[in-house]
């Protein structure tokens, strides 16, 4: 075990390169894992997500085990949590552990599995039990439209055509 010492004004972190994943948890139960992609560096702006993440059983199990280990280490065992990973050459590397719902994830989880994380969290808050039973399994994707340059949006055209598309 190495202990790294550094100036109190400097933090040195490893750059973890690889696909990005978000593990969605309620209490100590993994509800689903989403794969996410970012736009171009140096920014960390999400470009697209897919749920459930296309993982092998081994990858899913390893991320799940590390997630639950993080929660035990931080004494987190209640409510919604999301843990972000990069899958590197060494396997899963934890980026963040967040004791909250992840932005955009509740809708993906609801569409993919039929589990409403917001409603189930409210049940917990008022003293009830969360029902995390999955009622279906669909593959759901989201895509964020990002501009390719700085500028000011002058107008949007064609919204009626877009709204007419089923789904």
For the chain, what's the residue count? Answer: 167
Q: What is the DSSP letter of 123?
A: H
From CA 105, how far away is CA 86, in angstroms rounded?
17
- Alpha helices (H) in 18-158, listed in sequence order: 57-73, 105-113, 117-125
Q: What are phi and psi of 48, to 5 degrees?
A: -160, 160
Region for residue 75 given its phi and psi (left: phi exceeds 0; alpha: psi -120 to 50; beta: otherwise)? left
Catalytic status, residue 143: no
Task: Give the residue among 100, 96, 113 at the shortest CA–CA distance from 33.
Answer: 113
From CA 14, how far away is CA 110, in angstroms rounded?
34
Structure token digits, residue 89 = 């050459």
The active-site residue out of 5, 72, 100, 133 is 100
Q: Which stretch of DSSP H or E encloses residue 160?
A: helix 159-163
- Catalytic residue numbers read 100
């Amino acid at each position: 075990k190495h202990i790294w010492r550094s100036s109190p004004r400097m933090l040195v972190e490893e750059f973890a390169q690889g696909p990005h994943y978000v593990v969605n948890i309620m209490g100590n139960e993994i509800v689903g894992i989403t794969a996410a992609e970012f736009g171009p560096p140096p920014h960390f702006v999400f470009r697209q997500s897919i749920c459930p993440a296309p993982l092998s059983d081994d990858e899913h199990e390893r991320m799940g085990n590390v997630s639950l280990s993080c929660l035990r280490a931080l004494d987190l065992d209640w409510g919604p949590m999301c843990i972000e990973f990069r899958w590197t050459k060494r396997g899963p590397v934890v980026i963040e552990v967040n004791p909250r719902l992840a932005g955009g994830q509740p809708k993906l989880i609801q569409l993919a599995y039929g589990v409403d994380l917001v409603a189930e969290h409210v049940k917990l808050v008022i003293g009830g039990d969360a029902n995390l039973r999955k009622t279906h399994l669909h593959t759901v994707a989201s895509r964020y439209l990002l501009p390719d340059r700085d500028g000011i949006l002058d107008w949007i055209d064609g919204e009626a055509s877009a709204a007419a598309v089923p789904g």
